[in-house]
Chain A
Amino acid sequence: MDEQGAKPGKDLLDRTWDFFSSVRVATVLLFLIAVASIGGTLIEQEGMYSSSLPPEEFYPQRYGPVLGVLLLRTGMTHAYTSWWYLTLLFMIGASLVICSIERFVPLWRAVQQPNPAPDTGFVRRLKQQFAVPAASAESPYAKLAEVLRARRYLVIEQDGRLYADKGRWGRWGPYITHIGLILILIGAGMRAVPGAYMEQFIWVKDGEIVKVPGTDFYVESLGFEAEFYETGQPKSYRTHARVIDADGNVVKTHTISLNEPLSYSRVELYQSSYYTDPGKAQVAVIDRATGAEVGQITINLSQPEREYTAGEYRMAVLGYYPDFGLDADGKPTTRSSRVTNPGMVLEVTPPDGEPFTTWFFPLYPSMEFDPSNPVKFSTLSIDPVSTSGLKVKKDLGIPVIYLGLVVITFGAFATFYIAHRRYWAFTEDGVVIVGGWTNRNQGSFERETRQIAHLLDPERYAVGDEMEGEER
């Protein structure tokens, strides 16, 4: 970088680095992100509101023309993917990474390579102090070391000095937490990698085999079932499913329910919706003149056959409308592919007589356009068929996220539940002078120090009262 443009000794990169390595900056960023997160919970977010209007029309309508447009312009309508939120996240990410790099070496030196023989003045200035007679001339620290080891301290004796510490994890705790957070950011960012993330939705009818999008395998529904409590509250939604691979082999059988997704080759299928439609209709064909049944047929309403035979009657399906309606020109049409109001056009060929065409509505068999036909239909029963809605999800970032969560948990507990405690000791005129230091939880460390002193010199150090919060 150009020497003259920057301040002496500090170029832009240096200053950026310093900025992000500051705890002060990190603290401000944390509060800022907390505040920035509020907006999105108060404003209905894009894709979440229950209206079919596009955002450009919905927001001005919902919040008024001025505020609505302002919300759209500022990105408040998709707050968590807006440029300002992502910038803040990026900044806290930078702060995490830079702080971690910056602190690693000093922390390593301080915790893993402590100086066992610092200046005696330093030891004397420590908050926790006691002095006990030396155990013997050759090994003055023998008793102290024994007591400390019994309390699981790591004791180092070197150059006529003693150093002991425990709870080093406590010092690494914040560091570990930050690494966990970086892992989570990485895991969340992995969905930007092509092929690492996929979200789809499929409908699988009972008995149907459906290709799972984005994969080379199929899922077959062996049946969906919904259970309800007596109160009418739902109890469980389940899809009995099988996975069939590209070669047609059944490779997995699993009952998908809420909290129990099906998992196969890094893709997960989640129970998320269902609907039930008329499935198979059992229909009696009746001779209108005699009223006698000439035969029964079973129509699969999701996919009728081309032809049916009842007794000596043959019926060809000329047209099928699963969701019958009339279009603008008054012609029959189907409004959707779902079986809601099925209607079919049949060409009936009686054993004796001319073939004729007729309409048949399995749900409303009495609705007839021409009551003079020689046959009529009667629906005896309709079996419902369920269609299960499955969310198909693939996210290769998940293992990284989980690892991050484990690391964060470990780090957070280490930070606040493990205290790093250390003692330094030196001898002077046959007296061992001990100084103690801890990074947190002073009160309990003070008690431990007093107990250690008491063990070594019970006459001089009584185990006093616990810390009193209020003066009398």
Chain B
Amino acid sequence: MIQLSSYLFLGAFAAYVASAILYVTRLTLRRRDPKYFDLADRLGNRGFQAAVLGVILQGLAIIARWVGSGQVPMSNMFEYMSFMGWSVMLFFVILSAWYKLPSLGAFVAPVGVVVIAYASVFPTEVKPLVPALQSYWLPLHVSFAALGEGAFAVSFGAALMYLLRVRREKTSQWEEALLEFFFFCGAMLTGFLVLALGFKVAGYSVEVTNMAGGLAVLEYTLPPIIGPIGSRAGEASFLGLSLPLVTAPAWMKGLYAARKLNTLVLSALAGLLLYGGVRLIARMPLRDLGTKAVGNMNPKLLDEVSYRGIAVGFPLFTLGGLVFAMIWAQKAWGAYWQWDPKETWALITWLFYSGYLHMRIVRGWEGRPAAWVSALGFLIVLFTLVGVNLLITGLHSYA
């Protein structure tokens, strides 16, 4: 059953990739020449169908994993992130059916693909549930939070498109730089995913001597360019290079600090390569490429979609991320609120989006400022999901 689930998951992933490619191709064709409009529309329809197919397949994959393992598939990072990817695609399908906005697909479908790919970086085995997680609140808390975050991701895509669309009208230097930075981050994330998944599929793993922390050896799943303190060149090799080239600085005392730094540097290099490559081929900053892709879509509609994403996601996130979370915390730990970092970051996310929702009532704060807040809001969501686990430890450290 779990095998079946992973096949279904793979099928869904393929469908999402196909959908993203179809949508991007559609957009590129439309920009090229009006004579391609019909072909482009057909591609758009196919892209939509692929997205729907992916959502169905992944839905089945989740059910199969549930039945196969006998526990709700929401207990580790792989299960959670892939569920979130599913919600991104689900909301995309719903909103694009509603608004007939196929160009959104070129921005949101890749976000869905990235989230799912990121999920696949984590170990996919089924692990038995630790006592704290054995509760029906687990699926309630996690699924509603993920559904809300999926809707926020769709809003993020639309907000980014809006910002690219309105660039021609007086955009400050800061905004330009930030937009370009978004693209660079996207490239870095893609770089990380390509590296992580590539080496995972290849089964790469080396152990390097480690004199920092309490571990004698540190296992690397990427080539150890930067080794831990105490490691020496020649312990590993990759493409004829004798690795590690350097050791991590002495002030990095964390148990896995060297490995995290290594991953970060490698991802940044891959991202830089990707970013530079695209930039060289396109011969323009990526934000200009983005603006070209967005073309002359209706900015009001983009603004509306971005708002709708948050309006739909906010109650879901409130329910999953705060209400269910607090009730469960009260039941499991005897305290509904403990200022645990994950808890606090969920509150920060919630406050930020409620700020956004109030902002839209105040005249003059809709449109561009709102789009920036929505884009920033999704970065907060990402930090809550990933950053808190990587950088800060707390009660959610099992996730």
The judgment on whether A and B are partners is: yes
- For residue B345, CB closer than 8 A to chain A, the reply is yes
- Report yes or no: A467 in contact with B326, Cβ–Cβ below 8 A: no
Cβ 8 A contact of A27, one of B100, B297, B301, B358: B358
Cβ-neighbour of B351 out of A24, A33, A408 (below 8 A): A33
Taken residue by residue from 311 to 336, chain B's Cβ proximity to chain A (1 for < 8 Å, 0 otherwise) reads as 11011001100110011101111111
Q: Which residues of B contact A471 (CB under 8 A)?
A: 296, 298
Contact B354 A30 (CB under 8 A): yes
List chain A residues, Cβ under 8 A from B99: 443, 467, 469
Query: Are B344 and A37 interface neighbours, CB within 8 A?
Result: yes
Candidates A260, A412, A467; contact of B315 at CB < 8 Å:
A412
A108-116, A234-242, A300-308, A332-340: which lies at the interface: A234-242
- Chain B's closest residue to A271 (CB) is B131
- Given A41-B345, A258-B132, A470-B101: A23 touches B358 (CB 8 Å cut-off): yes
Contacts of B345 in A (CB 8 A): 41
Cβ–Cβ contact A261 & B331, under 8 A: yes
Contacting residues of chain A (230-265) with chain B, CB-CB under 8 angstroms? 231, 233-237, 257-261
* B199 contacts the other chain (CB 8 A): no
CB distance from B345 to the nearest CB of A (A): 6
The answer to whether A261 and B334 have CB atoms under 8 Å apart is: yes
**Residues of A close to B336: CB separation below 8 A:** 398, 401
Nearest CB in chain A: distance from B149 CB, A: 16
Contact B355 A415, beta carbon cutoff 8 Å: no
Give B229 Cβ to nearest chain A Cβ, in Å. Answer: 21
Instruction: Kindly state whether residue A1 has any CB partner on chain B within 8 Å.
Output: no
The answer to whether A41 touches B355, judged by C-beta atoms less than 8 angstroms apart, is no
Contact across chains for B132 and A30 when beta carbons are under 8 A apart: no
Residue of B315, B332, B388 touching A413 (CB-CB under 8 A): B315
A467 touches B134 (CB 8 A): no
Among candidates B100, B134, B135, B358, residue contacting A468 with C-beta atoms closer than 8 Å: B100
Bound form: Cα–Cα A9–B70 in Å = 69
Chain A residues positioned under 8 Å from B392 (CB to CB): 41-42
Bound Cα distance A409, B350 (Å)? 13
Selected from A30, A45, A466, the residue in CB contact (under 8 A) with B358 is A30
* Interface membership of B63, Cβ < 8 A: no
Q: Is the CB of B330 within 8 A of A398?
A: yes
**B7 interface contact, C-beta 8 A:** no
Q: Please, which residue of chain A has its CB at the minimum distance from the CB of B295?
A: A470
**Shortest Cβ gap from B59 to chain A (Å):** 22
CB contacts (< 8 Å) of A261 on chain B: these are 331, 334
B156–chain A nearest beta-carbon distance, Å: 17
Which of B297, B315, B318, B326 has the most chain A CB atoms closer than 10 A to its own CB?
A: B315
B-side interface mostly: helix
Interface residues on B, range: 35 or more
Check if A259 sits within 8 Å of B134, measured CB to CB. yes
Residue B290 lies at the interface, judged by CB distance under 8 Å to chain A? no
* Distance, CA A41 to CA B383, complexed state (A): 12
Separation of A27 and B128 alpha carbons in the complex (Å): 44
Q: Which among A199, A398, A469 is the interface contact of B301 at CB below 8 angstroms?
A: A469
A34 touches B351 (CB 8 A): yes
Contact pattern, A 311-350, Cβ under 8 Å of B = 1, otherwise 0? 0000000000000000000000000000000000000000
Contact of A259 with B331 in the complex, beta carbons under 8 Å: yes
Contact yes or no, A469 B330, CB < 8 A: no
Q: Does B276 contact A (CB under 8 A)?
A: no
**B326 shortest CB reach to chain A, Å:** 6
CB nearest to B296 among chain A residues: A471
A-facing residues in B148-183 (Cβ within 8 Å): none
A235 contacts which of B102, B131, B337 (Cβ < 8 Å)? Answer: B131
Instruction: Tell me if A402 counts as interface (CB < 8 A to partner B).
Output: yes
Check A270–B318 contact: CB distance below 8 A.
no
CA–CA, A413 to B316, complex, Å?
A: 8
Given A398-B336, A409-B323, A440-B311: A470 in contact with B102 (beta carbons within 8 A)? yes
User: Is A467 within 8 A of B100, CB to CB?
Assistant: yes
**Does the CB pair B315–A472 fall under 8 Å?**
no
Report the separation of the CA atoms of residues A472 and B323 in the bound assembly, to the nearest whole angstrom. 45
A259 to B129, CA, bound (A): 13
Chain A 259-293 interface residues, beta-carbon cutoff 8 Å to B: 259-261, 268, 270, 272
Interface hits, B278-307 → A, CB 8 Å: 295-298, 301, 304
Contacts A41-B341, A235-B131, A259-B135 given; does A34 touch B348 at CB 8 Å:
yes
Which 5 interchain pairs have the tightest Cβ spacing? A469-B101, A30-B355, A34-B351, A412-B315, A270-B334
A-B CB contact pairs (8 Å), 13 listed = A23-B358, A23-B361, A27-B358, A34-B348, A42-B392, A45-B339, A391-B334, A412-B319, A413-B315, A416-B311, A417-B315, A440-B311, A469-B103
